[in-house]
A = this chain, B = another copy of it.
Amino acid sequence: MIATKLISEARSHRDSSILVDPLLSPLPDTLPKNVTKIADSILTPEELKITSYDVPELLQAIRSEEYSCEAVTRAFLRRAALAQKLTNCLTELLPSRAIARAKYLDSLPISEHGRFQGLPVSIKEHHGMEGLTNNGGYVAWIGKPQDGRCSTQEVLLQAGAVLHARTTQPQTTMHLETSTNIYGATTNPWNTDLASGGSSDGESALIACRGSILGMGGDIGGSIRCPAANTGIYGFKPTPRRIGKLCSLAAVSGQEGIIPTQGPLASSRSGLMLFMETYLSYEPWIKDDYLVPIPWRPVTLPAKLKIAIMWSDDIVTPHPPVTRALKEVAKSLSEAGIELVEWKPEGHDDCWDITQALYYEDDGKHVEKLIAEGGEEMLLLTKWLIKDNENVKYRTVEGVWELKDRRNAYRLKYNELWLSTGAKDNHPVDAILCPAGPGAAPPHGNAKYWNYTSQWNLLEYPGVVFPVTFVDQALDGKDEAYVPKNDKDRFNWELYEPGKYVDAPVGLQIVTRRFEDEKCLDILEAVEKAMGRK
């Protein structure tokens, strides 16, 4: 009963937060599954224009005083409120504090705004926000006051950002799609039958609806990259220790087997780049010395890039649209004179076994306890990960040491594997191009294969996801003759029917070596240019 009351209060709080001024006109009685065009009939032309910019263009428009910070903020607040109605992506909108902040910035000379110039930025709820509460997806934590400093946001504010929205995450923040007993499910704006991904799903749905063009998510197994791929936007998981993580709420805060990292999601590649460069230009490692003091370093790419393509991890074969996306990009790269080789994955199944075990050294008991404390139901994807998982066990300290030894040995071996690709020409591959998941955004409740992203969390390799294409009903027929290799592969193969994936975006992932974050984004640029993009 207490839980019901708390949930109802959390929802009321969110619902009243989106009562923007002026109020949104009513939505059509019947909404299509693809809601990405609804804004066109609800927002003003100016709001549509402001929210259509990508990050550098919007900053330029503010710098040139084409728009005030307040006008920009108000446009994004209205579009974010609409995104909430369409996809259920917010835990709260922040109109009062965002408008006050925008007005304050407008009162300063443009030159004193900082490099973010009044840019609205959305934040995944469990990263916290000064003076507000955090629930992190748990009923038990509804109303929990923010405790401690939010180091990333301090930098964002120092740089002149306006924090305008807080976004949903799943129960436990450990699903690759989103539902909580507090807010229900977040849906994919391209097809509301599908998941927007997780755990930074609120960010991806909001950005895909252009209720934000830059947001902060977090990633310990794919939580930035999966939602970016599912919704046709850009998402970057940097090497851990380059972006602060102080005050992010998690059930377990002393776990260090797999280290999470915050990272940006954006409507464009330029948004990711500008974020990384700007954030690091403020030397966040001075106040937060958990961070490695490496500025955003200029990189010179080799004259002829050498990119490995991983068609499959040899465990679960990706769905046809993913394979087609890889083929299309490979063709563009090849035509642009980029050398392509095939990536031979090694031990990705072992890697996932170790990863899951390290997520839950305590057999997930902490999570179970928190769920019980909130009097809420354990959702199926939580149960799947924690209870029905033979790799998740209660460990002794010796057991944890053994897992870390296995992890360290695997890291060393994988680095050797990478370097071995340069054995003949002294040019190891510059990057791996690979799926961001085993398919496009799945129907709700089916995101049960993390390996295409979690692989790079254990290895601490940076990974960026970018949009490539959409599921095509004509081109992406099911391979009915396919013989699955194992149970996971069967589950994934059986899941696919093109008709279930109408309008679903397909993203791919570029991975580079540990701490090659700059190279990762520079290679994305080279890849997109090869694809004929700007």
Interface residues of A (CB under 8 A from B): 246, 252-256, 285-290, 292-294, 361-362, 366, 394-398, 400-405, 408, 411-412, 415, 419, 513-515
Least distance between A148 CB and chain B CB atoms (Å):
8
A514: chain B residues at CB < 8 Å are 289
Which residues of the partner chain B approach A405 to less than 8 Å between Cβ atoms?
Answer: 253-254
B362 lies within 8 A of A289 (CB): no
Beta-carbon contact of A292 and B292 below 8 Å: yes
In the bound complex, how far is the Cα of B397 from the Cα of A400, in angstroms? Answer: 8
| Contacting residues, chain B, for A400 (C-beta < 8 A) | 254, 397, 400
Tallying the copies of this chain within the complex gives: 2
B254 touches A289 (CB 8 A): no
**A415 proximity list for chain B (CB < 8 A):** 287-289
CB pair B252–A290 under 8 Å, yes or no, is no
Asked if A293 contacts B411 (CB within 8 A), the reply is: no
A36 to chain B, nearest CB (A): 40
A362, B398: Cβ atoms closer than 8 Å: yes
A290: contacting residue among B401, B408, B419, CB under 8 A? B408
Other CB < 8 Å A-B pairs besides A246-B412, A287-B415, A288-B412, 16 of them?
A: A253-B401, A253-B405, A254-B401, A256-B404, A285-B515, A289-B514, A289-B515, A290-B408, A290-B412, A292-B292, A294-B294, A361-B397, A362-B398, A395-B397, A396-B397, A397-B397
Query: How far is the CB of A418 from the nearest CB of chain B, in Å?
Result: 9
Residues of B within 8 A of A252 (CB): 401
Docked pose: A513 CA to B292 CA in angstroms: 12
Measured in the bound complex, the distance between the Cα atoms of B415 and A256 in whole Å is 21
For the complex, give the distance between the alpha carbons of A86 and B515 in Å.
Answer: 47
Inter-chain contacts of A256 with B (CB < 8 A): 256, 404
Contact A513 B289, CB 8 Å, known A254-B405, A404-B256, A412-B246: yes
Residue of B nearest to A252 (CB): B401
Q: Are B253 and A290 in contact (CB under 8 A)?
A: no
A514-B289 Cα distance, complex, nearest whole Å = 7
Q: Which B residues are CB-close (under 8 A) to A294? A: 292-294
On chain B, the residues within 8 Å of A362 by CB distance are 396-398
In the complex, the chain B residue whose C-beta lies closest to that of A416 is B287
Knowing A292-B294, A397-B361, say if A404 contacts B287 (CB, 8 Å).
no
> What are 5 A-to-B residue pairs whose CB atoms are below 8 Å?
A254-B400, A254-B408, A288-B412, A395-B397, A397-B397
CB nearest to A402 among chain B residues: B254
A104 smallest CB distance to B (angstroms): 24
Which residues of chain B have C-beta atoms less than 8 A from A288's C-beta?
412, 415
Question: Which of B254, B292, B396 contacts A403 (CB under 8 A)?
Answer: B254
In whole angstroms, what is the CA distance A181 to B377 when docked? 58
B254 touches A293 (CB 8 A): no
Q: How far is the CA of A401 from the CA of B286 in the complex (A)?
A: 25
